[in-house]
Amino acid sequence: SQQGEEDPQALSIQEGENATMNCSYKTSINNLQWYRQNSGRGLVHLILIRSNEREKHSGRLRVTLDTSKKSSSLLITASRAADTASYFCATDLGAGGTSYGKLTFGQGTILTVHP
Amino acid sequence: DGGITQSPKYLFRKEGQNVTLSCEQNLNHDAMYWYRQDPGQGLRLIYYSQIVNDFQKGDIAEGYSVSREKKESFPLTVTSAQKNPTAFYLCASSIRDRADGYTFGSGTRLTVV
């Protein structure tokens, strides 16, 4: 079964609005990562948050991690039409800074930003 | 520029045929991975390799085989035993035992005809 489950499955917003995507997972993690995929392309790494971190920023991206609830959120602020893509969370299973060396991906959220 | 290259971009397979998907990287990464993606789905791990001449099965290895004879290369063979091979196949690489951030190839779309 999938480690990560994402919510919502699809999100449609207008340019300039914020987009929030959520990810829940089941077991202990070493880190959690977010990736973006444009249609028919490979995935691109966006941001990584370690299990001992609670919040991280990168440009217009803000990621939070709540290990007690086993959940993470990705916020894209001031969205643009070019942000239209699928977004995946991925968990690096492990504990205490030790990675099992492989990622498990969620089902993804399809984000559509209308001009 | 360093990167990871998958070929071909599109591949068609007849029933009963084996086909091999190529994945080459020049990032000097030790670890390489193969994932399968079905329409509207997430990625599922087929095989991964943390070091040359060693690899492990992922969650859906049945009907697939791999080799890791060189650090730069991790080809995936889709055998005739894989009953539903039509999918988008993604190769990735990373620093060994870190999984800090994968670099992905652009994918191979395999269709059974």
* Residue A105: per-residue pLDDT: 92
What's the CA gap between A59 and A38, in Å, rounded?
A: 19
Q: B38, B43, B109: which to substitute to probe chain A, counting the most A Cβ within 10 Å?
A: B43
Which residue in chain B has the smallest CA separation from A97? Answer: B98
For B84-109, what is the mean pLDDT? 88
B61 pLDDT exceeds 50?
Answer: yes
Chain centre to alpha carbon of residue A95: 20
What is the average per-residue pLDDT within A40-44? 93
The answer to whether A3 contacts chain B (CB < 8 Å) is: no
> Is there a contact between B97 and A31 if contact means CB atoms under 8 Å apart?
no
Chain A: give the shortest CA distance to residue B38, in Å. Answer: 10
Residue percentage of chain B with pLDDT more than 90: 77
The pair of structure tokens assigned to A21 is 């995507």
pLDDT score, position B41: 81
Mean pLDDT of B83-90: 94
pLDDT grade, residue A1 (50/70/90)? very low
Confidence at residue A98, expressed as pLDDT on a 0 to 100 scale: 61
CA separation for the pair B46, B91 (Å, rounded): 10
Q: Do B98 and A99 touch (CB under 8 A)?
A: yes
Per the structure block, which two tokens stand in for A88?
A: 């995946």
Asked if B101 and A48 come within 8 Å (Cβ–Cβ), the reply is yes
CA-to-CA distance for A20 and A17, rounded, in angstroms?
10
Indicate yes or no: CB of B88 within 8 angstroms of CB of A4: no
pLDDT mean across residues, chain A: 91
d(CA B111, CA B113): 6
Query: If interface means Cβ-Cβ distance under 8 Å, which residues of chain B face chain A?
Result: 6, 31, 33, 35, 41-45, 48, 50, 58, 88, 90, 92, 96-107, 109
All residues of chain A having their beta carbon less than 8 Å from the beta carbon of residue B42 are 2, 4, 88, 105-108
Q: Which residue among A30, A44, A106 sits closest to B42, beta carbon to beta carbon? A: A106
Q: How many CB pairs under 8 A join A and B?
A: 66
Burial class (CB in 10 A: 0-12, 13-18, 19+), B16: exposed
Taking only residues 52 to 71 of chain A, the set having a beta carbon closer than 8 angstroms to any beta carbon of chain B reads none
Each residue's pLDDT tens digit, A44-97: 999 999 999 999 999 999 999 999 999 999 999 999 999 999 999 999 876 555
When pLDDT is cut at 50, 70 and 90, the band that residue B97 belongs to is low
pLDDT at residue B72 is higher than 80: yes
